[in-house]
Structure 1
Amino acid sequence: MSEVRDLIELMTTTSLLTAPGLVTDPARAAIVDAVLAGGHHVVYGAPGSGRSTTAVELLAALADEPGGLEEVLLLAPTRQAATRLRDAVARRLPRTMGRVVVRTPASFAFSVLRQRAALLGESPPMLLTGADQDAALAELLLGHASGEGQDPGWPDEVPAEALGLAAFRHELRDVLMRAAEAGWDGQDLVEIGERLERPAWAACGRIMQEYDDVTRLGETTPDRGTRYDVAGIVDEATLVLGAWERELPRHPRPRWRVVIHDDYQDATMATARLLEMLAGHGAQVVVLGDPDIAVQTFRGALPALLGEATQIPQPRRAGRDVLEIRTAGALGATAHLLPMVWRGDKRLRSVVVAATEGLPALGESSRRRSRAAQAEVGSSIEVAVTTSPGEEGRLVAHHLRRHRLAGGVAWRDMAVLARSSGQLAALRRGLRAAGVPVATSRDVPLAAEPAVRPLLTVLEVLVEPADEGAVAEGDAGFAGSDAGAGRKRRHAVPGTVGRDGGGAAALPARWAHAVAPASAAARPSRG
């Protein structure tokens, strides 16, 4: 699966455009010179204009400055983006770096908190994963359903049946994370929900208060450090850096000479507050992005932060009776533009222009008029409107098979992109029915992987037997077996495994698939 993901990323992302030590784009060279001269900067660029390449070239130029990269930090909004930048930096710099230069904001924040804990002699902090948060919320909601704890007061439009669903917990966790990124605590969310007559928001605020209490309770044991979730860890690091001299007067506060943030259109308000604090302590901040291509807004990204960075910082004062989301990120930065698009040709560029011209013009809008460097590279664009998902899958399969048979294009050199993961199942079925080999690349929790679910089910049943009727029978394809092999394995399971003591017949097939290899090792061979 990792090979498939790497292949798709290779097919859909831009490689390093310039040879090591050579900056061929005059606009890029001018931006690098401007940054080396000092001040904060915002770099706008359309897709394919070389924003990430500019960030890497800037890092290479800073490596030749006095002090090198010891106080230089390159941030990316996601782990995947950080990995691509890290690989590009490794190719660009002919040297070994003594520390991690490319990070996500959450990774950087965690390193700051870990350093602080070490200096104070405290246990290392812990980062709560999405699975940890989901488990904690599941326990809270289950406790409320059984009458334990304070009733959060869900309104009638939130049925009791929905409270036990994983999809509901996912949406609830999203609300809590967005509130934390806005700087609100549980009480703030309750107050604003009551003021705006949104009882569901108020209920989420009460859940948030209880969740925070449970999280802090888990920190009381001596061997466990402070626990942070991804939404709050960046703000926590900002507070720690701001209070460093007061809490650790005998240890110098970590300082950064230059901080670069690529794909800043996908940054959150918490990241903007972090950059603002670093700039206030002497760091030079450079951000690069394009508001038109933001893809992380569902996780709290604010594309308008690019334009905010060019604003002059102003003192903020919230009214006593008004709860506000504290904006941040005003740096008084100088705006630059990468005017040339190096990826694709004029035909592809015209499609991008048509797709973005109706979007709100956030920040520097002249990026939409960027020209393609190449007039024609043989690209072709077709638009088709189908009447059903099935017809859409057949049409996609037809094009893929045509390129395979008539054009000689290998299957591994083709990619199909879907707007959302909900489209993948139907599209995958349609392609396979047409004889097109399919391998999907989708990040899913480990517990949701098809090969892991049966193992978890076995463990759950061994610890606390469940109703056999609640579990789907069979699991064709598990460990390369079919239904017939599943029946043989089920009969091979010792009778003591059955929940009712009646032998293997009491064990559903999907459980037998998973436990049979372990039990078969102790059984003599019939041969």
Structure 2
Amino acid sequence: MSSSSTTRHTPHQGQPYPGPGRQRTPGAYRLVRTAPAPLVPPQLDAAQREVVDHTGGPLLVLAGPGTGKTTTLVESVAARMERGADPERLLVLTFSRKAAVELRDRMATRLGGRRPPQATTFHSYCYALIRAHQDAELFAEPLRLLSGPEQDLAVRELLAGQIDLEKAGLGRVGWPDELRACLTTRGFADEVRAVLARSRELGLGPDALARFAERVGRPDWKAAAGFLAEYLDVLDLQGVLDYTELVHRAVLLAGSVTLPAYDAVYVDEYQDTDPAQVRLLHALTRSSTGAARTASVRGGGRATGGSTVVAFGDPDQSIYAFRGADVNGILDFPAAFGGGGVQVLRTSRRAGAELLGATRLLTQRMPLTRLPSDKVRAHRELAAARDGGRAEAYTYPTASAEAENIADLLRRAHLEDGVPWQDMAVLTRAASSLPSLRRALTSAGVPVETDAADTPLRHEPAVAPLLLALRAVA
């Protein structure tokens, strides 16, 4: 329930309910709509204010951790609506469902009951776009998205089917001899999935991938091109799409239909976008530019030079390359969007001076050659809004020794320094290391709460023993 619909329970004091013949009894309650509490806008620094006051054209905002990136985005949307913008002509795109929910909640709270603009993920936007233009004659049912495990199963079944076809002399793909022994392994299926995903993110179809494979002399990639064609045929027959194919189809569709015209498009976590998502953003901004130019000509004014797209991101935090994210998207933003400006949020409100100094030692080794050097320098030399913080590095000979010492550090912090358990966190590089780390912490008496989204189903405490029993029986 939004803030404008907050309810309050009040005793009836024996008065009758509205309506004939209805009497309230002592102890009953009625719901009363209360006005939303007034929200005091946050205090913005000069760099944030420049972003909020930006009115037209592309803008890249370099925002390090704790610099108020989300606050600045929300205030930018609120300021544009206060200047009379229609929320239906504003679009906010982000990387994850969790981030989209947070943005929607914060914008709704900031706008005090007014309808906020659409805030969604790239994939949700693509799905809605395809559903809106889905051919009813070809697809009686809505397209369904494949989950990761479902896609893995589909790829492995297709690979197994190709083995049977080759044995019967009917194989179409023709994998190299040195790879045929690997076709049934999970690792090979994962590699094939990665090739399929990267191909579609780059906009490559089976024919283009095959030509590229011949040009560089990669017979395995040429076989993957044949597999891609078969895989896409199966998806179409089943009426399903995987996530990379979803964005690819949306980009193709954007070139043949009239997209909604937006006055401004805001993109959060831009460093996590892949090439297909960047192409979709170009299509959205081209549509908005055309609509703005048409409206300007009809009104007797001068056509604007470019659409408003504001991208927030930090190239130093680009960590999803294994999912197809390409840091070149944010590095090429000024050139790709017609010489857009670059603004830097310069104050870190989360990390103390010592932590910022430690991160600076790392980022200095990461070149960012395609962005203005003065902007990069300002981005990496953040001013700390508070003191405190400490960074220490430890090395251990084995993974088990590492887990035991992590548990010891946490116990000492709680028992000797009085740090509450809820104020501690352990970050891991991969979800696969969570079960062993959880066992080590639990054995040492450290209470553990693991985000369910970070734990594979097969590693859940209730599922792992069942799988072990099934393997033993099999």
CA distance in 2, matches of 1:119, 1:66: 38
2:314 aligns with one of 268, 271, 290 = 290
Shift, 1:199, TM fit: 2.2
TM-fit CA distance, 1:449: 4.6
Instruction: Judge conservation of contact 2:199–2:205 (CA < 8 Å) in 1.
Output: yes
**Aligned CA distance change for structure 1 residues 69 and 23 (closer, same or farther; 3 Å):** farther
CA displacement at 1:375 relative to structure 2? 4.4
* Alpha-carbon offset, residue 151 of structure 1: 5.0
Match of 2:176 in 1: 155
Q: 1:380 aligns with which of 378, 390, 414?
A: 390
Compute the displacement of 1:447 (Å): 6.6
Residues 245-304 of structure 1, C-alpha deviation per residue, up to 9 Å, x if partnerless? Answer: 5xxxxxxx4221111001101111111111111221224211111111112111111112
Q: Which structure 2 residue ranges, 5 or more long, are not aligned? A: 1-38, 290-306
Matching residue of 2:93: 75
Instruction: Decide whether aligned partners of structure 1 residues 444 and 425 sit closer, same or farther in structure 2, where only a CA change above 3 A counts.
Output: closer
Instruction: State which of 305, 313, 327 in structure 2 corresponds to 1:303.
Output: 327
Q: Provide the C-alpha distance between the structure 2 equivalents of 1:452 and 1:137, rounded to a whole number of angstroms.
A: 24
Please list, as runs of the form range in 1=range in 2, the aligned pairs for 1:66-465 lying within 5 A after superposition: 66-97=84-115, 101-117=118-134, 123=140, 124-147=142-165, 150-158=171-179, 160=181, 162-219=182-239, 227-244=240-257, 253-281=259-287, 282=289, 283-311=307-335, 329-362=336-369, 363=371, 364-376=375-387, 378-441=388-451, 442-444=453-455, 446=457, 449=460, 451=462
Name the SS for the 1:335 alignment partner.
strand
CA-CA distance at 1:56 after TM superposition: 1.2
Question: Is the partner of 1:285 in helix, strand or coil?
Answer: strand
Structure 1 distance, partners of 2:425, 2:177, is 45
3-state secondary structure, aligned to 1:73: strand
Q: How many residues align?
A: 409
Distance 1:193 1:122, change over 3 A: closer
Deviation at 1:453, TM superposition (A): 7.1
Q: Decide whether the 8 Å contact of 1:76 with 1:261 is kept in 2.
A: yes
Residue by residue over 1:434-484, the C-alpha shift from the partner in whole angstroms, topping out at 9 and shown as x without a partner, is: 2323333353555765545788x7xxxxxxxxxxx99334xxxxxxxxxxx
Cα distance 1:151–1:439, how it changes in 2: closer, same or farther (>3 A)? Answer: farther
Q: Is the 8 A contact 2:123 2:243 kept in 1?
A: yes
* Cα separation, partners in 2 of 1:184 and 1:71, compared to 1, 3 Å: same
Deviation digits for residues 93-124 of structure 1, max 9, x if unmatched?
Answer: 211537x6111111111111111238989643
Summarize the Cα distance change of 1:369–1:182 in structure 2 as closer, same or farther, 3 Å threshold: closer
* Alpha carbons of structure 1 residues 271 and 451: separation in structure 2 relative to 1, 3 Å: same
1:356-384 Cα shifts (integer Å, max 9, x gaps)? 111121524124443333341x3222111
Give the secondary-structure state (helix, strand or coil) at the position aligned to 1:438: coil
Between 1:115-124 and 1:354-363, the stretch displaced more is 115-124
Question: Residue 183 and residue 93 in structure 1: after superposition, are their counterparts in 2 closer, same or farther (change >3 A)?
Answer: same
- Report the CA distance between 1:166 and its aligned residue: 3.0
CA–CA distance in 2 between the matches of 1:448 and 1:426?
Answer: 10
Q: Which amino acid aligns with 2:154?
A: A
Match of 1:29 in 2: 49
- In the alignment, the residues of structure 2 paired with residue 95 and residue 273 of structure 1 have an alpha-carbon distance, to the nearest angstrom, of 34
**Residue number in structure 2 paired with 1:463:** none
Conserved 8 A contact 1:56-1:89: yes
Distance (Å, rounded) in 1 between the aligned partners of 2:421 and 2:469: 40
Q: Is the contact between residue 128 and residue 230 of structure 1 (CA under 8 Å) also seen in structure 2?
A: yes
C-alpha contact (below 8 Å) 1:62/1:69 kept by paired residues: no
Counterpart for residue 293 of structure 2: none
Q: Does 1:57 align with 2:56?
A: no
**Residue aligning to 2:303:** none
C-alpha change, 1:256 and 1:119, in structure 2 (3 Å) is farther
- What is the alpha-carbon distance in structure 2 between the residues aligned to residue 437 and residue 58 of structure 1? 41
TM-score in terms of structure 1 length: 0.71
CA contact (8 A) 1:235 1:273 kept: no
* 8 Å Cα contact 1:431-1:438 kept in structure 2: yes
**CA-to-partner distance for each residue in 1:296-328, whole Å, 9 max, x for gaps?**
1111111121232211xxxxxxxxxxxxxxxxx
Q: Answer yes or no: is the 8 Å Cα contact 1:266–1:302 preserved in 2.
A: yes
d(CA) in 1 for partners of 2:68, 2:423? 24
Question: Is the contact made by 2:61 and 2:345 (CA closer than 8 Å) also made in structure 1?
Answer: yes
Q: Percent identity?
A: 35
Partner residue in 2 for 1:492: none
Structure 1, residues 366-416: CA drift from partner, whole Å, max 9, x if none?
24443333341x322211122221221122111101011112223233211
2: CA distance, partners of 1:241 / 1:427 = 46
Distance 1:287 1:115 in 2: 26
C-alpha separation in 1, matches of 2:77 and 2:379: 26
**Corresponding residue for 2:302?**
none
Query: Conserved in 1, the CA contact under 8 Å of 2:349 and 2:386?
Result: no
CA distance in 2, matches of 1:346, 1:74: 32
Q: Distance in 2 between matches of 1:393 and 1:454?
A: 22
TM-score by length of 2: 0.79
Distance 1:369 1:177 in 2: 33
Q: Which residue number corresponds to residue 11 of structure 2?
A: none
Shift of 1:85: 2.3
Q: State the 1:82 CA deviation.
A: 2.0
